[in-house]
Chain A
Amino acid sequence: MTKAITVSGLHKSFGRTHALDGLDLEVASGEVHGFLGPNGAGKSTTIRVLLGLLRADSGAAQVLGRDPWADAVEAHRRIAYVPGDVTLWRNLSGGEVIDLYGRLRGGLDPRRRAELVERFELDPTKKGRTYSKGNRQKVALVAAFASDVDLLILDEPTSGLDPLMEEVFQRCVEEERDRGRTILLSSHILSEVEELCDRVSIIRKGRTVESGSLADLRHLTRTSVVAELAGPPNGLSALPGVHDLDVRGRRVRLQVDTDRLDAVLRSLSESGVRSLTSTPPTLEELFLRHYQDEAAAR
């Protein structure tokens, strides 16, 4: 599998702030890659390095097989970027900006453009300053989705969209994936990431702390189990990987490392199971674990 983005050991400091501290990132061609992390973790800095807007202090980065700093213009022909906070020129209409951006990339598909304007319910004749935040984002999204490119870099692109438009956005991302395009999606909306992304990378303090498919990551986390038993439980506390065990009579609550789930279920069924709820970890829990570590580390 070829890689659309490979980053290893990226460092970037602004004065005394170490924004990136040995960050690694791999995005395979054709995948939708979620890019997660708390505020200030270095997501936007990474993206700006990938776009050649910032120069890394050390480390290696390749985007579409090119050096993002030295070869920026050539790389950008095949990239569309949507920033989190879109600023437009006050006296240019949205339609003018969409067409300008399209021409400055690999070109624009006029049919796709018209279709997207319709689906996002965007009025392209309004001028820059009169758009709301969400509408400014739609301008950038239409320009990105209608452009003929291989890689889309989306930095919190839906923060101003309403739920209906969020839905349109998700359909568009799926269509782009079906066309074989690669998408790097930085987002705080975990349901969106869970829905769309093949793989995710979680970064914290400028470093990658988790990376892999959602299934992989789930494997690393705990499943919570609530069970009503026929007889008294025994030996649960001795099992490896069991946490937060709470036994009240015949009612058992516990957390278990997902790869140890099997042993726990066997032990429970020895006592006879009347009811059982097992909740797989959500991305949110995964994410919170890293956020809380961060909070604790502060």
Chain B
Amino acid sequence: MTTTALAVRPASSRQLAGTGTLLRFALRRDRLMIPVWVGVNALMVLSMPGTLEGLYGTPAERADLIRQMETNSSLRAMIGPVFGDSLGALTAWRVGVYAGALAAVTSLLVVVRHTRDEEESGRQELVTSGMVGRRASLTAALLAAAVANAVLALLVTAGLAGQGTTGALALGLGIAGVGMVFATMAAIVAQLTESARLARGLTSAVLGAAFVLRAAGDSARDDGSSVLTWLSPLGWLENLRPYADERWWVLALLAGAVGLQGALAYGLAGRRDIGMSFLPTRPGPATGRLGTAGALAWRLQRGSVLGWSIGFFLAGVVYGGMTEGAADLVGDNEGARRIFERMGGQSGLTDAFLASMVGMLGLVAALYIVASVLRLHGEETSSRAEPLLANAVGRLRWAAGHLVIAFGGAALIMLLAGLGFAAGYGKEIGPILGACLVQLPAVWVIGGVAVLLHGVLPRAAVATWGVAGAVLLIGWVGPALDVPRAVLDVSPFGHLPKLPGGAMEWGPVLVLLALAVVLVATGLAGLRRRDMTT
């Protein structure tokens, strides 16, 4: 009887068996990650009306801004066109694309984490052997992303309701829609690759391409009507035009893309074995040339160093290219000038813009160094470090291999950013390079925190991400929000001289360098003394 009953039951209901349990499990595992990403994103959006009010308080200032955006194509490439002069419309213009991109990153991380990551680690096999349907894991992952995006949409809608509920709803749904487009995109890519890292990288590359398409389209046209813009989900978000005669039908594009991509992901998932992928893994050499722990560290990290190098160089070229235009834009606006000066120093506006952009890249380089140092932690917790250290490899030598790449790599990517700026801007090559390199002591302090925690408190090593996130938040949002000096001073970046343009101060630079040295030395001393963890 039981078997007949099972056979008669529709296939779909069995394929989804256990989805609810898996979803609860996924949300429990993400109970910190999702709230942080969604919270930061909502904070960024909701803090905008206040900031913009201060910057563009008068109709004359807004008219000026709109005129500038119509004429300045490089700024449109960066932010997108303005469709209205209400605070709501300005908010949607200033952060819409970025909030959408951040939602996309959150979504792709969540989806890959609960699909390919699980398969790669082998945990999925155990789960699937239970009372779990063939499609339950993918569904649970997409639902977890949907929960995150729905909460974000709700926060944005409720938080911006004061500027008008219709526009708030459009912006909230648009941001969440972009999030779901990339959630389903990640679901497809997770079927194609065997490695979660590669799945994250490829989906991020698609996101980057979407940004570039929109940027190219927006620099060509000032009303978002370029074909290139329409090819990008981020372009759809801006063309939804929240707070500027919303075009609700654009939501159908987002929904259609989500539906199509979701269907494709399910189709692919149903056609492959667990743990397998559509892109085959190529065989490697039968013998190897690696002979030292340092060579191994380089082999493990070289791909990411290359990626960051390219990214920083291109960012430098892009920012360098828009330097002149940016100075023009800010030129007439007292509020914006104040912010740039607080970020970039008191000198000429061009230098202030350059200094603030270089500072931004310095903050991002802190993320690189944390990721790179924490490879040590990853190697240790994945049990790969133990057999390696059972060879004639001292712990310090093992750590040194990764730390050279982390600290040296940070110098390399800042240098490349500087060369990019030089290429894009074409002037002041020496001062710009100096400005890039002067960021390093602060970047290294953050790296030092990672070394310290890994060496002394390995359980808390991942908390370095929190430190980097806080420093990023202080650096990005602090100057615009009139945050008290004491808070800004917590970040090592707050103590750096504002170059180019400002005076070089060796005092704080040397203090930060010394601090970095102390942090690294203490961390390494701790690593030498403590038990290895598994």
Contacts and interface: CB of A to CB of B under 8 A. Distances in A.
A265 B210 CA distance: 89
Contact of A99 (B287, B384, B388, B530): B287
Interface string A263-294: 00000000000000000000000000000000
A103 interface: yes
Contacts of A124: 286-287
A96 B291 CA distance: 9
A81 B390 contact: yes
Q: Shortest 3 CB-CB distances between A and B: which pairs?
A: A93-B284, A96-B288, A104-B391
B289 A99 contact: yes
B290 A99 contact: yes
Contact of A105 (B293, B382, B392, B394): B392
Interface in B280-310: 281-293, 296, 299-300
Interface in A66-102: 72-74, 76-77, 79, 81-83, 85-93, 95-101
Contacts of A103: 290-292
A148 B475 CA distance: 54
Contact of B195 (A87, A90, A96): A90
Contact of A54 (B284, B382, B384, B532): B532
Given A87-B383, A99-B287, A79 B390 contact: yes
Interface in B399-437: none
B384 A129 contact: no
A98 B288 CA distance: 8
A21 to B, nearest CB: 17
B531 A55 contact: yes
Contact of A93 (B194, B283, B387): B283
B287 A95 contact: yes
A104 B388 contact: yes
B389 to A, nearest CB: 6
A258 to B, nearest CB: 39
Interface of A: 48, 51-55, 72-74, 76-77, 79, 81-83, 85-93, 95-101, 103-106, 124-127, 129-130, 140, 153
Contacts of A98: 288
Given A53-B531, A76-B392, A100-B291, A95 B383 contact: no
Interface in B179-195: 194-195
Nearest to B120: A129
Given A53-B389, A90-B120, 18 more contacts: A48-B532, A55-B530, A72-B394, A73-B392, A87-B383, A87-B384, A89-B384, A92-B290, A95-B286, A96-B284, A96-B285, A96-B288, A96-B289, A98-B288, A99-B287, A100-B291, A105-B392, A129-B195
A74 to B, nearest CB: 7
B296 A125 contact: no
Interface in B365-410: 382-384, 386-394
A104 B392 contact: yes
A95 B283 CA distance: 11
Contacts of B532: 48, 53-54
Contact size class for B?
A: 35 or more
A83 B292 CA distance: 20
B123 interface: no
A70 B217 CA distance: 63
Contacts of B287: 95-96, 99, 124
A48 B384 CA distance: 14
28 contacts: A51-B389, A72-B389, A73-B392, A73-B393, A81-B391, A83-B383, A87-B383, A87-B384, A89-B296, A91-B284, A92-B290, A93-B285, A96-B284, A96-B285, A97-B288, A99-B290, A100-B290, A103-B290, A103-B291, A104-B293, A104-B391, A105-B392, A125-B283, A125-B286, A126-B283, A127-B281, A127-B283, A129-B281
B286 A53 contact: no
Contacts of B529: 55
Nearest to A56: B531
A97 B296 CA distance: 10
B283 A99 contact: no
B32 to A, nearest CB: 24
Contact of A76 (B195, B300, B384, B393): B393
A101 B291 CA distance: 8
Contacts of B286: 93, 95, 124-125
B524 to A, nearest CB: 15
Interface of B: 120, 194-195, 281-293, 296, 299-300, 382-384, 386-394, 529-532
Contacts of A126: 283-284
A97 B295 CA distance: 12
Contacts of A92: 284, 288, 290, 299
Given A83-B387, A88-B384, A93 B393 contact: no
Contacts of A93: 283-286, 288
A77 B392 CA distance: 5
B341 to A, nearest CB: 47
A119 B145 CA distance: 49
Contacts of A105: 391-392
A56 B405 CA distance: 32
Contacts of A106: 392
A53 B300 CA distance: 22
B390 A95 contact: no
Which of B282, B391, B529, B531 neighbours the largest number of chain A CB atoms within 10 Å of its CB?
A: B391
A76 B398 CA distance: 14
Nearest to A99: B288
A140 B384 CA distance: 12
B387 A140 contact: yes
Nearest to A106: B392
B62 to A, nearest CB: 53
B382 A87 contact: yes
A73 B394 contact: yes
A226 B291 CA distance: 61
Given A90-B195, A104-B388, A125-B285, A96 B383 contact: no
Contacts of A127: 281-284
A130 B394 CA distance: 29
B129 to A, nearest CB: 16
Nearest to B391: A104
A100 B288 contact: yes
Nearest to B529: A55
B285 A95 contact: yes
A77 B394 CA distance: 11
A77 B296 CA distance: 18
Contact of A96 (B194, B290, B387, B531): B290
Which of B281, B282, B390, B393 neighbours the largest number of chain A CB atoms within 10 Å of its CB?
A: B390
Contacts of B387: 81-83, 86, 101, 140
Which of A52, A81, A96, A153 neighbours the largest number of chain B CB atoms within 10 Å of its CB?
A: A96
Contacts of B389: 51-53, 72
B281 A130 contact: yes
Contacts of A79: 390
Nearest to B299: A92
A100 B290 CA distance: 5
Contacts of A76: 390-393
Nearest to A79: B390
A249 B392 CA distance: 67
Nearest to B379: A89
A86 B390 CA distance: 13
A118 to B, nearest CB: 12
A282 to B, nearest CB: 33
A74 B392 CA distance: 7
Nearest to B282: A127
B382 to A, nearest CB: 6
B356 to A, nearest CB: 38
